[in-house]
Amino acid sequence: HARPRRTRLEHPGRTADGHAVALLANVGDPAGAVAAADVGAEGIGLFRTEFGFLGRTAPPTVQEQVAAYAQVFAAFPGRRVVIRTLDAGADKPLPFVTAAGEPNPALGVRGLRTSWAHPAVLDDQLAAIAQAAASSSADVWVMAPMVATADEADAFVDRCTAHGLAHAGIMVEVPAAALRSADLLDRARFASLGTNDLTQYAMAADRELAGLAQLSTPWQPAVLSLVQLACAGGVARDRPVGVCGEAAADPALAPVLVGLGVTSLSMTARALPDVGAVLASVTLDECRALAALALAQRTPDEARSAVRASLGDVLDELG
Ligand code: PEP
Ligand code: MG
């Protein structure tokens, strides 16, 4: 029979043989950060900052942003907090940075691209992050969404450096970035795989369309291959490569991601206890074997079934 459901992460993330994999939370506002700390998250792997910008006609002021970011940092003293700069565009249009009427907004000016025409929005945000970080003990990392090229990664690192933010990284959500991650990680200090968008762009399947669910799964072997390539680039540059897409919250997929070379997993806080339990039950070599097993399949269903069968009892015990 099923065990009572775990509600707290009791230990830092590690495999059965002690390989550390930080288990972090995705949060979208300061209250979410407090809730994630209550669950026992080791830090925040994705703080989505859109909440402060949505539903407004102008960006929040620097002081408004400082107040919000300071609350998030205060929830994780001494811990890693990865804050993502504004990801406007596509499903999150904002009148002051995105153009209305793009024929294909998911392929338009979104994420970091909005800062080309509106550099002040990014600069104000980085100034606010730096100011909030200065009076907190959190280990503040900053990353940009929708980075496609090494030039974009370098430009972002330069902006962060200008604000005294030394730990600048990139989200890998575009297949081009996964294929060439070593180039992007030349100067960017870390990468975080946004598997929701990476899957959307790899499969050319709108993530909002339920009718394309069979395509829109991170179990697609092509997506797993992109994850593997992105991780190889991280190894080449000695940079950590995490995952902050929904894929990290799937207890069967999490050990596969670790086996592919992923160094941290960030997810909705409620998924942390189960993912932590699965991870603690497998060695790093077993994760690598699961990754090889998944990559050897031709379809997402075959990959998921093969991995689930191999994990067997571990998944059943989650209840
Ligand atoms: C992603 O694309 O996987 C991601 C984490 O970013 P968002 O879901 O906010 O687009
Ligand atoms: Mg994304």
> Alpha helices of 40-61 — where are they, by DSSP H?
none
Q: How confident is the model at residue 3 (pLDDT cuts 50, 70, 90)?
A: low
44-48 and 191-193 as β-strands: parallel, antiparallel, unpaired?
unpaired
User: Model confidence over 165-199: pLDDT tens digits?
Assistant: 999 999 999 999 999 999 999 999 999 999 999 99
Check the annotation: does 159 bind a ligand: no
Mean pLDDT in residue range 88-98? 89
Residue 226 · residue 178 · CB < 8 Å: yes
**Please, what is the average pLDDT of the chain?**
96
Q: What is the pLDDT of residue 319?
A: 66
pTM for the whole thing?
Answer: 0.97
User: Model confidence over 121-164: pLDDT tens digits?
Assistant: 999 999 999 999 999 999 999 999 999 999 999 999 999 999 99
For residue 214, give the DSSP letter: T
Q: Which residues surround ligand 2, an ion (CB under 5 A)?
A: 173, 194, 197
Check the annotation: does 250 bind a ligand: no
Beta carbon of 48 within 6 Å of any ligand 1 atom: yes
By most ligand atoms within 8 Å of CB, the mutation choice from 113, 173, 195, 265 for ligand 1 is 173
Q: How confident is the model at residue 99 (pLDDT cuts 50, 70, 90)?
A: confident
User: Model confidence over 209-263: pLDDT tens digits?
Assistant: 999 999 999 999 999 999 999 999 999 999 999 999 999 999 999 999 999 999 9
For residue 6, give the DSSP letter: P
Residue 85 · residue 144 · CB < 8 Å: yes
Beta carbon of 244 within 6 Å of any ligand 1 atom: yes
Check the annotation: does 207 bind a ligand: yes
Q: What is the pLDDT of residue 4?
A: 65
244 is catalytic: yes
Q: What is the pLDDT of residue 293?
A: 98
Nearest-ligand number for the alpha carbon of 208: 1
Q: What is the pLDDT of residue 313?
A: 87
- Percent residues over pLDDT 90 in the chain: 92
Residue 2 has pLDDT above 60, yes or no: no
Question: Burial, 108: exposed, middle or buried (Cβ in 10 Å; 0-12, 13-18, 19+)?
Answer: middle
CA of 174 to the centre of ligand 2 (A): 9
Beta partners for 82? Answer: 141
Residue located nearest, by CA, to atom 4 of ligand 1: 194
Q: What is the pLDDT of residue 91?
A: 82
Residue 179 dihedral angles phi and psi, to the nearest 5°:
-65, -35
CA of 1 to the centre of ligand 2 (A): 38
CA of 129 to the centre of ligand 1 (A): 20
Q: What is the pLDDT of residue 92?
A: 87
Residue 1 has pLDDT above 60, yes or no: no
